[in-house]
Structure 1
Amino acid sequence: MITGVGELRRFLLLLVVPLLAACTEPWQATSGLAPTPAPSVAASPAGVRGSGEPTTPVAVEPVSACSLIGVQITADRGDAAMGYREMSLHLRNCGTEPYLVEGRPDIVVLDEDGRPLKISVQPSVHYTAAPGRLVLKPGTSARAVLSWRNTVTNISGGADTGASLAVAVSEGGMRQSVSLPAPLDLGNTGRLEASAWF
């Protein structure tokens, strides 16, 4: 029993100090379940070795793209006429949240052994709409068009043939492996054009 003012003060002090200490401690989950952190997806640009040879870019496989990035990129067969070629890339939001798309795809062309070819990817001269901002709702898609000519001007040199791609939605993003239904017969132009996503 508390009989005096002094004892009452001591009792209140004993109650208040632990409460203040508890308030300054970081919150801890008491259920035993910690929040799941978002997956860490580092940017993976194609680098260049000291010798000037491009390094193989890191790219996630298509089966992992939805869970790691929330979108999946695929390529269609495309069209060919008189040496001019086109192929579309399709970007599908396979996640559960809206996905912001900006700019144009960032592409590395790979040979049949998965090594990068020295191909310059330039903005399309046929699909000239400026890059914009798209918000893809879950289940919806965007498209970008690749175009090239299979011109061979140097008969003593070989021609470049792209067997697959490593594609990021935009510059600096995580790349995905994209298989091609038909090879990119790039001749020896060393050039591929890409439109913005639309």
Structure 2
Amino acid sequence: MRIRGSGRRAALARLAGAVAGAALLAGCGTATTTPAGAAEARKTYPGGVHAESLDPSKFAQYGEAPQPKDARQPTASPAPTSTSSSASSSTSSPTVCPASGTRITAGRGDAAMGLRVLDLTLTNCGSTTVELYGYPRLTPQKPDGTPVERVRVLEGTDGITTGVDAGPRRITLRPGESAVTDLVWRNTYDDTTHPPVTVDQVVVDPRPARGTATVIPDPPLDLGSTGRLGTTAWHRAQEAAAGR
């Protein structure tokens, strides 16, 4: 078959195109074209994870397009300025008067020749008078509130020392007035079969005044092996100060 002129050139061009297409299909399978600059935008990391630029048009169906990183950062707002004046705070608040109308506090204690004395002061912080007579009722306790064993509380101090207790008398305390009872003991330790007796806190029932109070002496009461804790009858605070 003989092809002449332009018809021959056209036939050769078609034949060359068919051969090139067949070579591509046989050697490479499906070919994918990569736009210019895509190799720079695509970075491959271990595990096959890669980062590439996103087409904003793909997000139109979700109602918003991705924003640049800087645009999504929250803008720091200035700290609000307070216009209210700060009230001065007190380091110590006033002591609240208990419902019983009486407040019991412990002194610092005194020690001489193995004899220990700790005064407890009852103050009438209420608005009515308080009647006292006789000795307070004491309950020695451990830190968890359980009673301390091997402790005998005495009304009076004769079993420990003499010349300390003046005996019971009736006392009427007006609002603001105070009365005192002294706790007296010795820290003698002469019984190695038992550990020394220590009292960490004392529940005080003034009798017949209303209510009780828990007193935590500092340091704790060290009764040694004696196990005896004496009390004096209530007396006015002025009398206690004059007798010392």
Q: Would the TM-score normalized by the shorter structure come out above 0.5?
A: yes
Correspondence for 2:168: 131
Q: Which runs of 5+ in 2 are unaligned?
A: 1-93, 236-244
* 1:133-172 alignment runs, 5 A limit: 133-170=170-207
Q: Could you tell me the percent identity over the aligned residues?
A: 38
CA distance in 1, matches of 2:225, 2:157: 18
Query: Which amino acid in the other structure matches residue 71 of structure 1?
Result: T
Query: Which amino acid in the other structure matches residue 129 of structure 2?
Result: P
| Secondary structure of 1:113 counterpart | coil
Q: Which runs of 5+ in 1 are unaligned?
A: 1-62
Correspondence for 2:132: 101
Q: Does the C-alpha gap of structure 1 residues 149 and 137 become closer, same or farther in structure 2, counting only changes over 3 Å?
A: same
1:73-116 C-alpha deviation (Å, 9 max, x unpaired): 11111111221100001000010111111111110111222211
CA distance in 2, matches of 1:64, 1:117: 29
| Secondary structure of 2:230 counterpart | strand
| Secondary structure of 1:128 counterpart | coil
User: Does structure 1 residue 70 correspond to structure 2 residue 107?
Assistant: no
User: Does structure 1 residue 176 correspond to structure 2 residue 209?
Assistant: no
TM-score scaled to structure 2, two decimals? 0.52
Does the Cα contact within 8 Å between 1:104 and 1:170 map onto a contact in 2?
yes
Select the structure with the greater relative contact order (CA < 8 A; seq sep ≥ 6).
1
Does the Cα contact within 8 Å between 1:110 and 1:166 map onto a contact in 2?
yes
| Secondary structure of 1:182 counterpart | coil
| Secondary structure of 1:85 counterpart | strand
User: Does structure 1 residue 120 correspond to structure 2 residue 152?
Assistant: yes
Does the Cα contact within 8 Å between 2:132 and 2:208 map onto a contact in 1?
no
Query: Which amino acid in the other structure matches residue 84 of structure 1?
Result: L
2:111 to 50, 69, 80: 80
CA distance in 2, matches of 1:70, 1:172: 9
Please state which structure has a larger fraction of its residues in helix.
Answer: 2
Does the Cα contact within 8 Å between 2:141 and 2:202 map onto a contact in 1?
yes
